[in-house]
Structure 1
Amino acid sequence: MLNVNNIIKTLIILFSISFILYSQNTDRNNKTAFFSAIESGDIKKVRELIRNGIDINITDEYNWSALHRAVQFNKRDIVRELLLNKKININPILPNGAILENDGKKWYADGETPLLLASYYGYSEIVTILLNFGANILAKDNVDGAMAIHIASARGWTKTVLAILESYSAKNTKDIVNAVDNTGTTPLMWAAMNNRVSVMNLILKFGAYINAQDDDGWTALHFAAASDSYKAVEMLINNKANANIKNLDEKKPVDIASDTDIQALLNKYTKQ
């Protein structure tokens, strides 16, 4: 004789398993649809999925958050839509091993928040949106301890650097223009080593210390000279940079310059 209770228990278990599998499949489909909508800029679909309860802080198969992807694809309206949700984590970080590639050059992005990512791409409007919603202006990556202003300076995004410096967050943060990374390197130094003269001019107007030294005693002029950045060297000299400051190895900027034109220029301002 069949045991009715056992049959009922078996049916309940089978139903539960089926429901779990159905739910997992639905969640997986919604996740795929969510990230696809973000990439394509389909804000109606994004809103629909949010209304239907999708986790606003969900990550994709590469552990990138929805907010990171919206920034990466330069979808301003979707960035704003995500930020309007009270459950959003505005400062999620990219996983270790995250690499960005632009013009064949790799950029290690471990620990970057959406603000840092927007600064890398030079999306000044998104930077402003994120800061207006309270993104941490002092957030650092896990590579160099670089902040948004360091990254934007290194990349040469003048409008983005300006957006950061003119933000309410910057005005309420002590001396952001001279903020240092994990090795004491300032935004001016990051710009100098990459020959970003326009950014350097802007940063100096906002009060950057032209003769600041990093943990190894290097100044912006050292970095510019070592990077064969003639225009950066010239610009710093014209703004009264001290060519006689020595680093911890007792070397002046002229001592580490390999470009002969830079050496000739620096020799005019270096005491023998």
Structure 2
Amino acid sequence: MAEGAAAAAQAKERRKEQLRQWARSCTNQEPAEPRWQRRRRRRRRVGDGDEEEDEGDRGSQGEGDGRAVRFERSAEFLAACAAGDLLEAEAMLTRDSGKEVIDSTNTDGISALHQACIDENLEVVEFLVNHGANVNQADNEGWTPLHVAASCGYMEIAEYLLKHSANIAAVNSDGDVPLDIAEDDCMENLLRAEIAKGGVDIEAAKREEEEVMLRDSRQWLNAGKIEDIRHSKTGASALHVAAAKGYIEVMRLLLQANFDPNARDKDGWTPLHAAAHWGVEEACRLLVEHFCDMNALNSVGQRPCDVADEDVLSLLEELRKKQEDLRNEKEANKRAVIDTNMEQHPSYTNKHRRSSVCRMSSKEKISVQDQSKERYVILGAA
């Protein structure tokens, strides 16, 4: 129970941070981050450890010129719902394309429904669901509104979402279903009862993504052609996802199919950035063995070691030395093959050329020519 309480506390803190991120994102200035780039919602290191400057901290004005930033319609809708201004939200849904606006998100992938759950605002939750909001929409870390309600212990909201087809087996990027991050005993009991009633196989749900990726990877390897579709928001490849989540067999198949180990997402992150950040040791080893670039810089100049989980920093240093040894060994083997070929080739050439007249001395040439004349005379006489 102690571990569950600690996990729930961490989850709740992540939701609070999402709220702060949302407030900043209204300026539409902060670049989106892939889901694996916020390990436990901690700040990423830049350079020698200085924290990144948040664009939202600069306010909604221009760089001192007094020009106001014009918000997009989606940001205005998110703000109206967050403020509980349902009249304005209703007007926007009527005026604009309702479906496009109602499921719009901020840079963290948080929708108005996510935010209403974070704020424990059942009235806004009901308003959004009644207007067609997607109850199973996932944010950039795979959290659905039910994950939010479960982690925060908001029973009424969780019950309402479940009555409106919320997926009890939705798996987030940490591999957790809502039950795994439930806040308290009452929430656990509610979710367990729902799982039992629906006969849901939670373990199968958790394996589903990896199994789909295994199937696709085998098909690509057998066909000799990779048909990966990048994530629409983050630009993440299949190898990024597998590295971040520790799908090692998927990685082996992808690399065997010649998947680029240095593929980059929209923020310049390579699979090694992802594996290092999430502390997936075996993924780091596998990528290094396939000669990934350990010094690759992302869009803000960070190497994999700069964004790595502290637990894998020493491993990365060890792997750096190992990769250098492997590279030297590979070069040595390559030179050995070249040297062997060079030794064999002259031997064959010299043997062939020694029978040629042009390689003989003048005296030898005359002797051969005389012999040829004698053979010609004998053959002519015959």
Scaled by the length of structure 2, the TM-score of the pair is 0.33
> Greater relative contact order: 1 or 2 (C-alpha under 8 angstroms, separation 6 or more)?
2
Scaled by the length of structure 1, the TM-score of the pair is 0.45
Specify which structure has the higher proportion of helix: 2
